[in-house]
Chains A and B, each alone.
Chain A
Amino acid sequence: MNKDEHSKFELTSDNASSPEESAKALANHQMEAMEELPTTATFDLVAREELEKIENIEELPLIIEEEEAKKIVETLLFASKEPLRARDISVLFRGVENIDSKKIRKILLGLVDEYKDKTFQIVEIAEGFQIRTRSEFHPWVRKLFRKEKKNKLSQAALETLAIISYKQPITRVEVEEIRRVDCSGVINTLLEKNIIKIMGRKDVLGRPIVYGTTPLFLKHFGFKSISDIPNPDEYLSENGIEQNLETIQAMNGNANKNISGDS
C-alpha cells in the first residue's frame, strides 16, 4: 500500500471499496483504534507531527522481515528516553507493507516477555513501552546519580491525586468537598510538577478550571493508562491495599525482592 492509501485510512475509515490488502489493513487499523481509544486523552499531537515529518527522510523497503522489525523496535525502545507507543512506532514504519501498528504492538508485547530474563526490563507504561533498569539494581543507579530519594509526593498530594485521577476532569472545589481541606497549594504544586494539568473549564457558574492527569502521572505511578487506575470503591477496606501490592508486582512482570521479602 502506498502512502496516499494509508492516509486515506486516517480520514475515511469506512472506505471498504479498496483492494483486499487495504481492507485488511483497514480492519487492523480499526482494531488498533478500538484498542487505544481510552488512552487517547493525553495524546501528544506535537510528537505525532514531528514523527510525520521524519518519516519521509528515507525510502523504506516494502517488506521487512518480522525478525528484523523486532530488532528495529528494540533499538527504538533503547534509543528513546520516553515511553513509545505502538502507534508512534507504526508511523515510522509507514510504507512498509507487512508491518502495521497491531503487529508492532505484538512485537512490543513479545519483547516485554523476552526481557523478563534480561538485565533490563521493558514495561508497558504511560500508554507506551519503555526500557528501564530493574528494581534490584536501584541502589547502584541511585549511587551513580547520588540520589537519596526519588521525588516522593506528600500524603496530601497523594490524596489529592487519587481523587483527581479517578474523577477527572474535576474542579478544585470538588476535590475539597471530598478532602474537606484547602487544596489550592497542593494543586499548584502538582501543576508545577507537571503531574496534573488544566483540562479546561467546567460549564457551570464561574466557569471553574478542571484538572486532569498527565502522562508523567502515569509514569510516576507505573500505570499503563488512565483506565488502569484502580476503582476506589474497592478500597473501602484497608486490606485492599495488600491485595493490590501483588497486582503491582504482577504488573511489573517481576517480583521485586525488596517488596516480596517484606510482605
Chain B
Amino acid sequence: MKETVHHNSVSSPEIKKPVLKDKKDVRSQNTHSEDWIDNLNQEQLPSLELSPDSRNQPEFLTTKDENKFRVKLQVFEGPLELLLSLVREHELNINDIPIVFITDQYLEYVNLMKNSNINLASEYLVMASWLIYIKSRTLLPQSDGEELPEEDPEMLRQELQKQLIEYQKFKNLSGYFKVAEEEQSLHFERGGDQEIESIVKKINPEEDGKIILTTFELMNAMKNMLELEDGENVHLIEIEELEVADRQNYILDFIKNLGSEGIAFDKILENKRTLTIVATFLALLELVKRSLIVVFQNHSFSEIRIKKAVLNE
C-alpha cells in the first residue's frame, strides 16, 4: 500500500465527522532519534477499535461517544505484513494457522480499508483471493486420494505459512538494518557529504531564505564580471546581411567596364566566406537567367569567365 495514504486515523465514508484521536500514534514518531528503540519493540499492530454497529449508526457516533469510535489503521507494507500482524494480534501460532479464521480476519480488514477510501493495492486482493481459495478447499469435502497436490488444503496452508515465515525473517532482519542504519547515522566521515560551500551558506540558520554572501564572495563575483568585460572571451558577432540582389548589382558593377574577354568567376569574389560565395553564385545564376550576363569558356576545361551580355561599344 502506498505510504502516503491516511496514516493513523481513517474515517469511514458513512460517518460525517469522524473523531480522530491520538494524533501522535503515527509512524512519524521515528523522527526523534531517541525514540527509535522504543518504536522497534512496540508492537506494530493495527489497533482496530470499532464498535460492532458503528458503521450503521453514524449519527449516534458523531455526537457523543468519542471513545467508542476510534479507527486507527496502520499502514502496511503489503498483504504479508497485514497477515503477520493479524497472526500476532490474535496470538496465533505461525506454524499452525487456522485458515478460515485468518481469512475472515483478513477480509474484514480489507473491507475496512475499502470502506475507508484507502486505495487498495492489487496485492491485497491477490492475497484475498488466494486465502479464499484455500479456505474453500478446506471447507469442501475431500475426495479420497484424488487430490492434486496444488489442491490439497493442507499443502496450500503449508505454502502460506512458509511464505509468512520467510517474510517474517526478512522483516525482522530489516528491523536490524534500521537499527544499524540509525547507529551509522551518528558517525560522520571526513568532510561530511556536503560541499563546503553549502555548509557555509547553511551554517547561519537565522538567515533562512536569504542569500548570504561574504565580502570575499562579492569581490569574487565582481572580479568575474570584470573579466567578462575585458573581452578576452567575448566576441561581438555582427550579422552580415547578404542579399542576392546586392550581389547582382555588385557583379554588374564589377564587369561594367570589361571588354569581351570578361573576367574569371573567382576573381569577382572579394572574400572567400561561404556565405559570400553562395550569394554571389546565386546572383550569377539570376543574372544569367535574366540574360544580363554571359558565362562562357574559351575552350573545354578552361576557366569559367563572365561578361556582360550586351557590350557597350
Q: Which residues of A contact B (CB under 8 A)?
A: 78, 80-82, 121, 123, 130-135, 138, 141, 144-147, 149-150, 152-156, 158-159, 161-163, 166, 178-182, 219-223, 230, 232-233, 235-238, 240-242, 244-245, 248-249, 252, 256, 258-259, 262-263
Contact = CB atoms under 8 A, between A and B. Distances in A.
Contacts of A147: 192, 194
Contact of A259 (B41, B127, B172, B183): B183
B78 A235 contact: no
A158 B37 contact: no
Contacts of A131: 189-190
A236 B171 contact: no
B180 interface: yes
A209 B184 CA distance: 30
Contacts of B34: 258, 262
Interface string B198-239: 010011010000000000000000000000000000000000
B296 interface: no
B163 A162 contact: no
Interface of B: 3, 30-31, 33-34, 37-38, 40-41, 77-80, 121, 123, 126-127, 163, 165-192, 194, 199, 202-203, 205
Contact of A263 (B37, B168, B172): B37
* Dominant secondary structure at the B interface: helix
A181 B181 contact: no
B123 A182 contact: yes
A144 B38 contact: no
Given A162-B170, A179-B78, A230 B176 contact: yes
Given A138-B186, A156-B3, A156-B77, A180 B170 contact: no
A99 B182 CA distance: 37
Given A181-B79, A235-B168, 11 more contacts: A133-B189, A144-B203, A145-B188, A159-B77, A180-B79, A182-B121, A221-B180, A235-B172, A244-B176, A256-B183, A258-B34
Given A131-B190, A180-B78, A236-B165, A163 B172 contact: no
A161 B189 contact: no
B154 to A, nearest CB: 21
14 contacts: A80-B190, A123-B187, A145-B194, A147-B192, A152-B182, A154-B3, A179-B77, A180-B167, A219-B184, A222-B184, A235-B168, A241-B175, A256-B183, A259-B183
A244 B80 CA distance: 24
Contact of B183 (A121, A222, A242): A222
Contacts of A144: 192, 199, 203
A131 B175 CA distance: 27
9 nearest A-B pairs in the assembled complex, by CB-CB distance: A135-B186, A181-B78, A150-B185, A235-B172, A158-B174, A146-B202, A232-B169, A138-B186, A162-B173
A238 B172 contact: yes
B176 A135 contact: no
A184 to B, nearest CB: 13
A181 B177 contact: no
A230 B178 CA distance: 13
Contacts of B171: 159, 162
Most buried by B among A133, A235, A248: A235
